[in-house]
Amino acid sequence: MTTEMPEVGVPGHGTGDRDPKGIGRQAGRGLRWSLLGTLATKVGSFAMSLVMARLLVPEDFGLYAIALAATAFVMHVNDVGIIAATVQWRGKLEDMAATASTLALVFSVGWYAVFWLGAPYFAALAGSEEATLLVRLLTAVILIDGVTAVRVATLQRRFDHDKLMMAITAGFVVNAAIAITLAARGAGAYSFVVGQLTGSVVTGALVLLAARLPWRYRLDRAVAVKLVRFGVPVAVALGIESILIYADSVVVGKTLGPVMLGFYLLAFNMSSWVPGLVATAVRYVSVPSFSRLAEQEAEVLSRGVQRSLPVLVATVLPMAAVISVLAPELIAFLYGPDWAPAAAALRFLAVVMVARVFMSLTFDILTSMGATRTTAWLNLAWATALVPALIVGTSAGGIQGAAIAHAVVAATVAVPLGTFALHRLGVHLRPVVPALVRPVAGCAAAGVVMWLLAELVSGGAFVVLAAAGGPAVLLYLVLVVPRAQRKALGERIGRRWPLKAEMR
């Protein structure tokens, strides 16, 4: 979809500020802060999950998962793509900020009213009517988002990612402190909700201070039409994506109840670590990089993707092998034996993890080529196949059946459709196949070794992880990483951390 916007200059700047080097420096600085902030919050979320899992019971996680599923959907659609439209606006910010602020606030209030009234039905659909109040409370974060949406976009336009990440980090610290304190005092699932709400308020307040944007609300119809035309397809695609991520929470909760949903949520969160870290880091550099390549011939973009994909796959596969083969030991070591049932789902969600990393890269490529409608159709096709598969899989095999269904759909529907969509736009992945043989074979060999060692080794979870996972990952590196690269890496490490004997 092509959206007409006034060509007045680079987003966030006047017509005279077109210095590519200056913009490049700003983008590079923003990238560094974005990556640093993402890493910090991901690591912090992981640490928080370890603590919360030992303070709460699976049912608490299950009830929270229902409220989180509702919140994730409305957070993707509540501003109707106003943040993305504001970042991409080609004119002066002051010409559209008041209208954008009005639209974001109106739509957020409207969506919250819908979910306030619909919370009992959504909770019943997910199998736990007691989650109604949790849904109503947690979805209130979209009201904060409605006030701050344009301010967040303003910081992104200015490449002030340091201020944005500091605000997000401060909110997370408050969230973790309150949630853990309440969980320790027996607040159950409400500890998650109150912590997240309070953290959102702190982040929102800091964003308002950092953005320094005048408080103006008005509605310019021409500007509103341009914003909505651009933002609605983005919001639709993201809304469908949230269904993909959280549909299993609704299906598992409805079929098996909040306790089993709690186990499934823990497994799904573990399988999301790698896509969350790798895909997010890649996304910050892939979209602008592929956008520049897309401005040239299609073959140039195709070669860029062909170089990037094998590296990405080779990075993700050993992590997937460890998660799949050593799922029981990972869960026992990190969360304790009480969470052991989650391992049944985690083994198969490792497949979903690999598919999600590939599809994330695919969506970035399509977005860089301007094919936003294609991303929406891809997500819709994926969701259409996933929901009935989840219903059948969960009914037949519990949380393991749900994970198997998710893995089958990801491997047989999502990945082929993503590959076909790229092919139609001139990005050919067939030349990548030979480069994937070594990582796939290495992963298979490492997985077999890992399984054999895990069967032979006796001891606690950490002993098995170290004795089975360590040698298997080392084997993977020997088989997959070329000898010249291993030698160069060793020399680089030797220069940075010389041996004591050499230092003498």
pLDDT at residue 157, as a whole number = 73
The band of 76, judged by pLDDT with boundaries at 50, 70 and 90, is confident
Looking at the predicted structure, is the pLDDT value of residue 503 above 60?
A: no
pLDDT at residue 97, as a whole number = 81
Tokens of 307: 């170089």
- When pLDDT is averaged across residues 294-315 and rounded to a whole number, the result is 70
The band of 45, judged by pLDDT with boundaries at 50, 70 and 90, is confident
- Structure confidence by residue, pLDDT tens digits, 213-269: 778 888 878 888 877 777 777 777 777 777 777 888 889 988 999 899 999 989 998
- Structure confidence by residue, pLDDT tens digits, 107-147: 889 889 988 999 999 888 888 888 899 999 999 998 998 88
Percentage above 90 pLDDT, the chain = 31
pLDDT at residue 86, as a whole number = 73
CA atoms within 13 A on the CB side of 100: 30
- When pLDDT is averaged across residues 490-496 and rounded to a whole number, the result is 59
pLDDT at residue 173, as a whole number = 92
What one-letter code names the amino acid at 387? V
Q: Which residue has the higher pLDDT, 85 or 379?
A: 379
pLDDT at residue 494, as a whole number = 62
Q: What is the mean pLDDT of the chain?
A: 80
Provide the residue range defining the domain that includes 165: 1-13+20-247
pLDDT at residue 485, as a whole number = 63
Residue 300: inside a domain: no
Residue 365 · residue 303 · CB < 8 Å = no
Distance CA 394, CA 405 (A): 8
Residue 171: burial class (beta carbons within 10 Å; 0-12, 13-18, 19+): buried
pLDDT at residue 498, as a whole number = 55
Percentage above 70 pLDDT, the chain = 80
Q: Which residue has the higher pLDDT, 123 or 93?
A: 123
Q: Which residue has the higher pLDDT, 105 or 486?
A: 105
Residue 356 · residue 410 · CB < 8 Å = yes
Residue 273: inside a domain: no
What one-letter code names the amino acid at 330? L
Q: Which residue has the higher pLDDT, 429 or 76?
A: 429
Cα dihedral sign, 341-125-61-70: positive
Looking at the predicted structure, is the pLDDT value of residue 363 above 50?
A: yes
The band of 193, judged by pLDDT with boundaries at 50, 70 and 90, is very high
Residue 487: inside a domain: no
Residue 275: inside a domain: no
Distance CA 251, CA 272 (A): 19
Looking at the predicted structure, is the pLDDT value of residue 414 above 90?
A: yes
Tokens of 420: 């076909």
Q: Which residue has the higher pLDDT, 95 or 203?
A: 203
**Total domain count, the chain:** 1
pLDDT at residue 491, as a whole number = 61
- When pLDDT is averaged across residues 316-324 and rounded to a whole number, the result is 90
- When pLDDT is averaged across residues 279-294 and rounded to a whole number, the result is 50
Place of tokens 């969509």: 421
Residue 123: inside a domain: yes
Q: Which of the 8 DSSP states describes residue 185?
A: T
The band of 190, judged by pLDDT with boundaries at 50, 70 and 90, is very high
Looking at the predicted structure, is the pLDDT value of residue 405 above 90?
A: yes
pLDDT at residue 74, as a whole number = 79
Distances (CA, A) of 484 to 52, 80, 275, 433, 475: 45, 50, 29, 22, 16
The band of 496, judged by pLDDT with boundaries at 50, 70 and 90, is low
Looking at the predicted structure, is the pLDDT value of residue 484 above 70?
A: no
pLDDT at residue 377, as a whole number = 86
Out of 62-71, 157-166, 463-472, give the one with best mean pLDDT: 463-472
Residue 174: inside a domain: yes
Angle of helix 161-184 relative to helix 20-55, nearest 10 degrees, comes to 0
Residue 431: inside a domain: no
The band of 2, judged by pLDDT with boundaries at 50, 70 and 90, is very low
Looking at the predicted structure, is the pLDDT value of residue 172 above 60?
A: yes
pLDDT at residue 303, as a whole number = 72
- Structure confidence by residue, pLDDT tens digits, 432-450: 888 889 889 999 999 999 9
What one-letter code names the amino acid at 227? L
Residue 320: inside a domain: no
Looking at the predicted structure, is the pLDDT value of residue 198 above 80?
A: yes
